[in-house]
Structure 1
C-alpha cells in the first residue's frame, strides 16, 4: 500500500471500506447477497438442520430491511458490529439473533437450538456439558424472575456477569476465519 505514515484513521478506514466493497462485488456482482450466496461466501454449506437454521437466522438479522438480501451497507454494518462493535450493541444483536420467533424474549427451546447449532458449526469440546445441561445452567444463572424466558435486560445483565455464557456467544459469531479469508483474497482482487 506504500507509505501510510501520513494517513489518517479516516484514510485507512476508507481504504479498508474500498477493499471490502471490492471483495463484496467480486463475490456478489449483483450487489445483493442471497441466503445461498451467504452460506457459500462464508463456507457454511452442508450443515445439519440445527446449524442451518442458525445460519438462516443470522442472515435474517443481517438483512436489516428484510428484503431477502444483504446489500453492501448491511454487510459492512454486520461485519463492523461483530468485529468492532461495543459490547452492549453486540449483546443486543445476539439477543435479536437468539430470539428466533421475535417475541421479545428467549425461551429454553430457542437457546437450546442455538447452542446445538453453534456446536454443530464449531464442534464440541471434550468434557463439555451437553447442550441441554448448558442451557439449563444458563437459565438457572440468569433467568432472574424464574419465568422460563430471558428478557433483553436479563440476557444483557446475565451475559455480562456469566463468563462461560459470554464465551459461547463470542464463539457463535467467531468470524476470524472469514476475516482471514477476506484478507487473503484482498491481494488476489
Structure 2
C-alpha cells in the first residue's frame, strides 16, 4: 500500500465532524446513489465487467439494502477496508466475488472481479488468469467452486495467496478518490 496507507490512516484519524463535511460535500443529500458513486469515481468508458464490479461494491457497502450509501455505511466501509480484521475482509472479498449470490465462487467469478478491479485501478501487475488458477489449485477441494469457509481457511493457510489478495483488492486509490475528491487525487 505504500504511501497510500499513511494518507488514509491520517484521514481516518480526523474527527467525525471533518469526515461528515467531506461526505456532505460529495453528496449534499446525505446519501450516495450508485449513479453518484460512479460520477465521483469518474468511471466513464469502463468495460461491462468493471461496471458490474462497481455495482457489486456499491451493493456490498449498502448494508441495509435501501439503494443508498449513507454516512454510517460510508465510514463503516472505509474502516473495514483499512482497519478491518482479516476474517472481516475475507468475508467482504467473498461477498464481492460471489456475483450470482449462490454462496460459492468459481473461477469465472473470481477472474471477472480481478479483471474489473484492474480496469478501475489501472494496476495490471498481476495476471488475473494466473492468480485465479493458483488460488483454485491451492484452495479448492476439487469441486471447481469454493464456499466461504473453504476460501477463508485456504487464504489463511497460504500467506502468499493472502498477500496477493490484499494487493489485488487494494481499493486505496478508489477510497482516496471518494475521500479526497477526484481533483485532489489527480494532483498527487
The residue aligned with 2:94 is 95
- When the two chains are superposed, the root-mean-square deviation of aligned CA atoms in Å is 2.3
Equivalent residues in 2 for 1:38-57, closer than 5 Å: 38-57=37-56
Mark the CA change 1:70 to 1:181 in structure 2 (over 3 Å): closer, same or farther: closer
Deviation at 1:52, TM superposition (A): 1.2
* Distance in 1 separating the partners of 2:95 and 2:180: 29
Equivalent residues in 2 for 1:118-133, closer than 5 Å: 118-121=117-120, 122-125=122-125, 128-129=126-127, 131-133=128-130
Deviation at 1:176, TM superposition (A): 4.5
Deviation at 1:181, TM superposition (A): 6.6
* Distance in 1 separating the partners of 2:62 and 2:139: 29
The runs of 5 or more residues in structure 1 that have no matched partner are 1-11
Determine if contact 2:107/2:136 at 8 Å carries over to the other structure.
yes
Determine if contact 1:58/1:97 at 8 Å carries over to the other structure.
yes
Determine if contact 1:92/1:152 at 8 Å carries over to the other structure.
yes
Q: TM-score, normalised by structure 1?
A: 0.79
The runs of 5 or more residues in structure 2 that have no matched partner are 1-11
Deviation at 1:177, TM superposition (A): 5.8
- Report the structure number with the largest CA radius of gyration: 1
Q: TM-score, normalised by structure 2?
A: 0.79
Bigger mean CA offset, 59-68 vs 157-166:
157-166
* Distance in 2 separating the partners of 1:172 and 1:25: 27
Say which structure, 1 or 2, has more relative contact order (CA 8 Å, 6+ apart): 2
* Distance in 2 separating the partners of 1:60 and 1:47: 18
The residue aligned with 2:34 is 35
* Distance in 2 separating the partners of 1:39 and 1:159: 31
Higher helix share: 2
Deviation at 1:44, TM superposition (A): 3.6
* Distance in 2 separating the partners of 1:117 and 1:152: 21
Mark the CA change 1:115 to 1:183 in structure 2 (over 3 Å): closer, same or farther: closer
Secondary structure (helix, strand or coil) at the match of 1:150 reads: strand
Aligned length: 169
Q: Does 1:137 align with 2:145?
A: no
